[in-house]
Structure 1
């Protein structure tokens, strides 16, 4: 005969031992009522075992333990003789979670998010968890400005103790910011202050930025932006008194009111130092960006603190603490600062850790480090290490942090984290013009091949007019000392692209090898040698320039025939790269000087190329990018400059708005662009982050001004002959490869110039 223990158990839970259970020794335990849960699972949670004496305390513990699992909605204990019977009623299992009416969010995203909080397929149904899920869904919609959202949750019982959960959503309309009021401003206009806010009442890009949708996080950021705006202009006592956010009864319009007190404008009176300066006060003082008598700027003060901390970091003081204490004189409206310097203990690096490199080998990254383990901490070397890794171009993002090593007071770990990006690139370039319609070219290259840091490239073009087969390889660490090696072998054939401009054939085959020797962290000198055989074949319809070249080489006055030359070009080059990134630079310079000389072969010549890039960050996260290139070639002795070594201009990479390779002199018979022995190119870009992209530098739009021209051998480089263009463009390092679009307006085009206003270049990553 069974004895029910549930009554005494519940009573014991509520009122102690008011009714005692008659103790007995458990001979066996039996579980009844389970459908999905294994009996072993129940036994594992039970705090009692066979052979133990069952009493009030163990009855209470057993019920508490089984309820705590969340598996059961009812638990009863009975005694069948000396057998403890555990009777349970399981909670239903969730068979499926469904959504209806959702447009703002992807359903898969919602399913995953709810599963993380306990509501998902195969999870145990719990009403409290469903309520939390419902509130979380509403919160997500409110964060998107959908304040009129309505949510109905339906739980449908199914056979075998299962349920379906359906969230029926009526999203309503997105609430838009109708008005932003700023109260209390006297010095600056409402328009000036609203320009500092990320939130606004809508504009051309609102569909993308969603800046007209209220967000508490954005409003918090805007308040900080307002404070910074005033602090950077001397208003050290500026205060945000309050903010109010209200919504209309129909939940469609939002009104924001920000109440401020501007205070008075302050100038800097004096700068002092206290603490340990190691006798370098003059050096540290030179880092102070604030000047006596100048208007106070919070931005300059913060930058000064960082500069002093970084300088102390170069001496090994990784934990240096620099605080500027203000002394405000309200009568004179002046503020003095005392920089309190606490360098802390000198630190050294314990470990250099690398994370995120799923493809690149550790050694490819580690060999770029200039900070070493077990040496004194040096902030400059750590920054240089980060920049060198970023300049490799293998990663979308490179971050570095220096946490204090646990259990120590004078050691740090340097943790460098990278985000890999596809380093293979299949590139096509093209443009559209009325004369040529659509044109394109293609090449394939794999940087960081198999994670080794080696770049392998192959160009294969089977065009009827320009056939190319080439293979190249670049190993940046051919030796452990950082000497690089590159080589290329190629076979190129070129014919005219149309039948009405004459006939000719240019063939080039050969190879080259070059070694790069680093002389500093940013400077490398390259030495190389090549072997090349070139031939030009002409007939009576060939352009005059090619016929003249055949005459110069063979002595044949008709200029018809075949001219072959061998060349052994020697190369001497130098490069300096101080950019912060090889992919999306925002600061620094890049310079390259290359001299190619052939005094051995039949066709003696030299050609020099100088390129200079300069990047400077400007206001509002913009970057000024200036690029210039000057190229010059000439034949040596009585030999002319080889026509197949000509420079060309026009198109993306030189002067946008003009057809690719169309600038300079043209053939007198057919009007073909001939290229030239000299070239001048200049580009100025103002690069801006795309609205809503935040700190992501992979997507930018830019305005540009281009200038350039190509000159014949012996022709003076007259700047009056330069061609100019201006326009807008978009640059995107997309997940499938780089993409660049531009629309240019030629500013001084001549009637004979060939124009292409829209041009693009794109690649496919792999």
Structure 2
């Protein structure tokens, strides 16, 4: 830039001198501009501070030249005189037609483009050649800072027709200089190996240690010096300092030697901790909870944490910009230090306005419903973070961030700006599909968690698969009232074939209609209440399983024992949910819990209850949260209550828990884990003269076991998952693609099954593929199944997809393992 200014001054001086040598002053009668190509004549004349009729002199000439160059359109300017006509001869800067990069590995094209645009180098703009050298030198400095001292950067300008140019940046990065040795001089308390572990720069690493960085980087060295200082000061060495550092290079510029001299000093103990300044009446509380205390070794990390703790605490009450400074009073004689924490809370800050950016679909008022921080109240860090968390948990939000902006001229007011990025919150399906369990399926439907940007959830699904035909309509308004009370309802019809579903054979028709209402307890807790009416028709009990017959016997007609049965129920339910997850879809941190209890009212034809508890815990393992662990557990129990027609009520087998498949226990066929149906067959010992069968005593009965699961009234399922970055997928797609390595464990059992009643009976034997060879104790809760594998989940345009590759580790007799499964349309 200085060179450019010197050239401009010289040109103006030369032009002014030339102009002065020929009739120094005259009145301009006309103006001619020569050499224009892209720039219009009218535009060029606007840059001339001279008009016809003005008197021109050397000073005016210098102004004219300066104005033309400042327009950035011209590479060369000459001022001439033809009589009383002012002649301006210009050479326009060439237009950049294309910018290409070649040989750059350490710098991405996007980073280079951003850097060039900051220097006004972009396609379609005039090329200022004077800045190319500074750009070249700046890029070289970058390579030097990462240890590539042989790097070369060249900007090649290729002329094109019509005063255009191609701009090419050619990189020859070369190899990075490796650290051959690091020497630390002056350390006595801690040995070299201990201090080397603190540093990021490494040397002489083993061949198998791929994560260590042996390339020299100036920024990394600066960070290591800070790490060493923190390491000592966190252990009481208050006077520690790195006195000098030396970095030397071999003549070939391929090896670096680093040396540093340290002064450790002595350990210091805190003699007193004092709070000073305007504490706004919080002295008592702060003195009780301060992490610092007298008699402990000085710890710089604890001092910093204490400053941040006080700042955040004051931020909860609107003092968003406090100043907390620790003033040490060091006594070198007894090696103690008195710490005075000076607190200046500043002014209480109020929120003037809350704005949103990035919400193309979702209305502002929907987002405001999820805010804890309100306009007109004081600014609270905790409320802002709570608001961010609530917005992030919405399934139609991919990312959420916020910043506070000071209001100009008002030192006690800020505007809060939430920047959100929306993501698909529903799916539309119509057509033909195929699944490994559902086989051929026809479906059409829409499910939307953010209907028309209102935040309301609505779904209409019509589907026909091998085991079920159904139509369902559901609706939920999460903010039915301004207080966050939700209201929802559902209505549906389904026809179900248990045999194709993977459980014992039965057919059912079900009509239901229900409503629910939810109340928020706080930002993360909610309770809900619901009531559902159901009308169910079950086909006749063709299988005569012991477990199903107990239920059918309550309704069987003596006149027509083979007829289907019908019953009505009113199911009242209550549930509690809690969520601190950081995202609504594909969370990586936080937890969620849900507990529900449902019971049919006494006036129902069936009397039963069910309890379900579900919990998930996510633990982030890395700062960017691409690595995390999921621990999950689901417990369930149900049973009947009271009696009907002298028969004790039990849980309808249609309400049994099942396991197996992508949503519960991967590595096993869908809904195949759990108790089998047991058939008791009376032994015929002869016939009467009339041909009537004669059966023996019950202890001579035989039993058979169904190859299919009947489910059970108790369930326990859990698992661990290691969530890892998806191979070949960039981090920006983590919100739509997830890969995990998992271990699943679970069991379903029947607490009402009496194994002793059947164990001594003769077993019929295997009559079908997959049928158990022996009768199991289906009341045994400890017969857990285990599997392990890899799962890939993708929120695709057609809906959520889940692919699982798994292997059973622990199975039971009669189980049906499944190596590969996939699901379409499951929720996560």
Q: CA deviation at 1:50?
A: 0.7
Does residue 175 (structure 1) correspond to residue 176 (structure 2)? The answer is: yes
Name the structure 1 match of 2:613. 610
Query: 1-side partners of 2:339 and 2:797: how far apart?
Result: 48
Alignment of 1:129-140 (within 5 A): 129-135=131-137, 138=140
Name the structure 1 match of 2:750. 712
In the alignment, is the contact (CA less than 8 A) between 1:649 and 1:662 conserved in 2?
A: yes
Q: Are the structure 2 counterparts of residues 72 and 170 from structure 1 closer, same or farther at C-alpha, using a change threshold of 3 Å?
A: same
**Unaligned ranges ≥5, structure 1:** 1-7, 428-432
Does residue 537 (structure 1) correspond to residue 539 (structure 2)? The answer is: yes
In the alignment, is the contact (CA less than 8 A) between 1:12 and 1:56 conserved in 2?
A: no
Residue of structure 1 aligned with 2:62, choices 57, 60, 73 = 60
Name the structure 2 match of 1:5. none
Residue of structure 1 aligned with 2:426, choices 411, 419, 424 = 424
Query: 2-side partners of 1:396 and 1:539: how far apart?
Result: 50
Query: Number of residue pairs matched?
Result: 752
Name the structure 1 match of 2:518. 516
Name the structure 1 match of 2:775. none
Residue of structure 1 aligned with 2:706, choices 670, 675, 683 = 670
In the alignment, is the contact (CA less than 8 A) between 1:502 and 1:543 conserved in 2?
A: no
Query: 1-side partners of 2:621 and 2:333: how far apart?
Result: 36
Local SS of the residue matching 2:21: coil
Q: Are the structure 2 counterparts of residues 15 and 333 from structure 1 closer, same or farther at C-alpha, using a change threshold of 3 Å?
A: same
Name the structure 2 match of 1:572. 574
Local SS of the residue matching 2:782: helix
Name the structure 1 match of 2:766. none
Q: CA deviation at 1:515?
A: 1.1
C-alpha deviations, 1:259-316, integer Å up to 9, x for none?
6555555554443322333444331123222354445444433333233223333334
Q: Which moved more, 1:583-592 or 1:634-643?
A: 583-592
Query: 2-side partners of 1:425 and 1:610: how far apart?
Result: 28
Q: What is the aligned-residue RMSD (CA, Å)?
A: 4.8
C-alpha deviations, 1:440-484, integer Å up to 9, x for none?
999963222222111233555433234444332221111223211
Name the structure 2 match of 1:647. 657
Does residue 681 (structure 1) correspond to residue 717 (structure 2)? The answer is: yes
Name the structure 2 match of 1:593. 596
In the alignment, is the contact (CA less than 8 A) between 1:369 and 1:385 conserved in 2?
A: yes
Q: Are the structure 2 counterparts of residues 18 and 334 from structure 1 closer, same or farther at C-alpha, using a change threshold of 3 Å?
A: same
Residue of structure 1 aligned with 2:637, choices 612, 617, 632 = 632
Local SS of the residue matching 2:286: helix
Q: CA deviation at 1:572?
A: 2.0
Residue of structure 1 aligned with 2:398, choices 396, 399, 402 = 396
In the alignment, is the contact (CA less than 8 A) between 1:487 and 1:511 conserved in 2?
A: yes
Q: CA deviation at 1:632?
A: 1.4
Residue of structure 2 aligned with 1:271, choices 270, 273, 286 = 273
Alignment of 1:148-227 (within 5 A): 149-170=151-172, 172=174, 175=176, 181=182, 183=184, 215-227=217-229
In the alignment, is the contact (CA less than 8 A) between 1:21 and 1:55 conserved in 2?
A: no
In the alignment, is the contact (CA less than 8 A) between 1:305 and 1:322 conserved in 2?
A: yes
Q: Are the structure 2 counterparts of residues 735 and 117 from structure 1 closer, same or farther at C-alpha, using a change threshold of 3 Å?
A: farther
Local SS of the residue matching 1:365: helix
In the alignment, is the contact (CA less than 8 A) between 1:502 and 1:542 conserved in 2?
A: no
In the alignment, is the contact (CA less than 8 A) between 1:552 and 1:640 conserved in 2?
A: no
In the alignment, is the contact (CA less than 8 A) between 2:571 and 2:598 conserved in 1?
A: no
Query: 2-side partners of 1:499 and 1:421: how far apart?
Result: 33
Q: Are the structure 2 counterparts of residues 372 and 677 from structure 1 closer, same or farther at C-alpha, using a change threshold of 3 Å?
A: same
Query: 1-side partners of 2:197 and 2:607: how far apart?
Result: 62
Q: CA deviation at 1:161?
A: 3.5
**Unaligned ranges ≥5, structure 2:** 1-9, 430-434, 679-704, 754-777
Query: 2-side partners of 1:99 and 1:46: how far apart?
Result: 38
Q: Which moved more, 1:8-17 or 1:47-56?
A: 8-17
Local SS of the residue matching 2:709: coil
Query: 2-side partners of 1:696 and 1:292: how far apart?
Result: 50
Q: Are the structure 2 counterparts of residues 133 and 456 from structure 1 closer, same or farther at C-alpha, using a change threshold of 3 Å?
A: farther
TM-score, length-scaled by structure 2: 0.76
Query: 1-side partners of 2:726 and 2:266: how far apart?
Result: 36
Query: 2-side partners of 1:291 and 1:517: how far apart?
Result: 44
Name the structure 1 match of 2:681. none
Query: 1-side partners of 2:453 and 2:212: how far apart?
Result: 40
Q: Are the structure 2 counterparts of residues 403 and 748 from structure 1 closer, same or farther at C-alpha, using a change threshold of 3 Å?
A: same
Query: 2-side partners of 1:126 and 1:363: how far apart?
Result: 48
Alignment of 1:106-121 (within 5 A): 114=116, 117-121=119-123
Query: 2-side partners of 1:374 and 1:550: how far apart?
Result: 64
Local SS of the residue matching 1:532: strand
Query: 2-side partners of 1:267 and 1:27: how far apart?
Result: 86
Query: 2-side partners of 1:262 and 1:732: how far apart?
Result: 54
Local SS of the residue matching 2:747: strand
Q: CA deviation at 1:58?
A: 1.9
Query: 1-side partners of 2:310 and 2:798: how far apart?
Result: 42
Alignment of 1:734-753 (within 5 A): 748-753=810-815
Query: 2-side partners of 1:204 and 1:681: how far apart?
Result: 43
In the alignment, is the contact (CA less than 8 A) between 1:371 and 1:381 conserved in 2?
A: yes
